Amino acid sequence: MNLKALAYQLRKDTVDIICAGKAGHIGGDMSVMEILVELYFKQMNISPENMGDKNRDLFIMSKGHSMEAYYAVLAEKGFLDKEEILQGFSKFGSKFIGHPNNKLPGIEMNSGSLGHGLPVCVGMAKAGKMDHRDYRVYVVMGDGELAEGSVWEGVMAAHQYGLDNLCAVVDRNRLQISGNTEDVMGHDDLHERFRSFGWHVIDVADGNDIDELDAAFEEAKTVKGKPTVLIANTVKGKGSSVMENKASWHHKVPTEAEYQTIMQDLEAAKEALEAWEK
């Protein structure tokens, strides 16, 4: 299956996980999917076989609440068992909780409290520089998350240390739990903000497009002496009109009727994309 179609298959898996666990941050799961697919199946040197390799690439899901999408990706990548996730997610005594936990294979660091991922990645990228290793470090943040001051402490330090092995991605879906990000705590010109901190900024006009993401990540690898951020303009709830661009779908479990419509929409999109050849 090509990566564009895979993103829709994994959206379907994600919705199943949410319905099985009766919980989940479905809106952000849908917006971030292509970013995760491109990273795990194209960009990053990470697999269940190389987790002991000190030269592997490193990833932190800083917007840890998009855990259901991350579970679907980790299962597809062979780190976790999908059936086990479906049976356990959010249930009493389960190891499959609603945020990343590094007791599970494939997950490097615990996250969930926003604004931690980038500063931790600064440490990881700094260690790579100290040891002259050529791994790359990737972090995915939400746009609502950027209101956390600790993000900007990390942004400052990444530039100070010249961490060109660090690539941050902002899942810019423009919605957070209370509504439009610009109404809650606006980012003004987000690109300019990062640029003013000395970062290389790449705008990904359609952050749900694998081709555009691929080009952006490739460009990031060529940047020397400074970190790169991808502002990926995504759609919250991407894949079905039931939930697209609706803040109320930040955290929501579909009803049976909604589930049927969502799954039909996702399947239709997947089938349309299966013809795509990379």
Partner 1 sequence: MGKIADKQMICEVLMEAAKEDKDIVALCSDSRGSGSFTAFAESYPEQFVEVGIAEQNLVSIAAGLAKCGKKAYAVSPACFLSTRSYEQCKVDVAYSNTNVKLIGISGGVSYGALGMSHHSAQDIAALSAIPNMRVYLPSDHLQTRELIRALLKDEKPAYIRVGRNAVDPVYEDGQVPFELDKATVVREGTNVALIACGEMVKPAKDAAELLEKEGICASVLDMYCLKPLDREAVIRAAGNARAVITVEEHAPAGGLGSMVSQTVAAVCPKKVWNLTLPDAPVITGTSGEVFDYYGLNAEGIAAKAREILA
Residues that bind partner 1 (CB under 8 A): 54, 58, 102, 108-113, 116, 119-128, 130-131, 149-150, 153-154, 156-157, 160
Report the nearest approach of partner 1 to the CB of residue 153 (Å).
4
Q: Min. distance of Cβ 50 from partner 1 in angstroms?
A: 15
User: At its nearest, how many Å lie between partner 1 and the CB of residue 114?
Assistant: 10
Q: What are the tokens at 151?
A: 């993000």
Specify the residue, 117 or 254, whose C-beta has the smaller distance to partner 1.
117
What does the H/E/C string look like for the chain?
CCHHHHHHHHHHHHHHHHHHHCCCCHHHHHHHHHHHHHHHHHHCCCCCCCCCCCCCCEEEECCCCCHHHHHHHHHHCCCCCHHHHHHHCCCCCCCCCCCCCCCCCCCCCCCCCCCCHHHHHHHHHHHHHHCCCCCCEEEEEECHHHHCHHHHHHHHHHHHCCCCCEEEEEEECCEECCEEHHHHHCCCCHHHHHHHCCCEEEEECCCCCHHHHHHHHHHHHHCCCCCEEEEEECCCCCCCCCCCCCHHHCCCCCCHHHHHHHHHHHHHHHHHHCCCCC
Q: Closer CB to partner 1, residue 7 or residue 118?
A: 118
Query: Smallest distance, Å, CB 256 to partner 1?
Result: 37
Minimum distance from CB of 117 to partner 1 (Å)? 9
| Residue closer to partner 1, measured from CB, 112 or 198 | 112
Minimum CB–partner distance for residue 154 and partner 1 (Å): 6
Which of 141, 127, 130, 195 lies closest to 172, judged by CA? Answer: 141
Residue 165 beta carbon to partner 1: minimum distance, rounded to whole angstroms: 11
Nearer to partner 1, 111 or 228 (CB): 111
Q: Which is nearer to partner 1, 27 or 227 (CB)?
A: 227
Q: Nearer Cβ to partner 1, position 56 or 238?
A: 56
Task: Please identify, using beta-carbon distances, which residue of 153 and 244 lies nearer to partner 1.
Answer: 153
